[in-house]
Chain A
């Protein structure tokens, strides 16, 4: 049974990416200077104490930023299948995606001018 060449390239991708990330992480441990203190080595979670009273009040701005991030994240989900099939689509498919991006841009301008992205 002949091995598919595409699968070999996929295998190589896995090997190289694993090696690359191990090398980078290892270099960070070996080369980079490290002087730990209490604040640095404590776990970090959106600027909150990770183990605290659950009823504590905090800024709703976190949610806003997260939701705005998710909107643009989901846009990518729509863009990927479009990219893969862009060659087969007619001019109609191209303009549909451009309309979608224009809509997103208008929304982005709105949220920017509304001040949703500035941290007060």
Chain B
């Protein structure tokens, strides 16, 4: 599973971070950092929820 974020769309609402904090982190600089770009299957449910909750549809999950 590979995660890509469209940073032109991202508004740093951090809902992804609330769903999958192991994978997404919005830091105090206001930017989103992807901590694991190719997470294992154990993260799939949370990553799927993170993509669903993103208000700007900035997260794409492939594979």
Partners in one complex: no
Query: Taking beta carbons and an 8 Å cutoff, which residues of B are in contact with A?
Result: none
A positions within 8 Å CB-CB of B: none
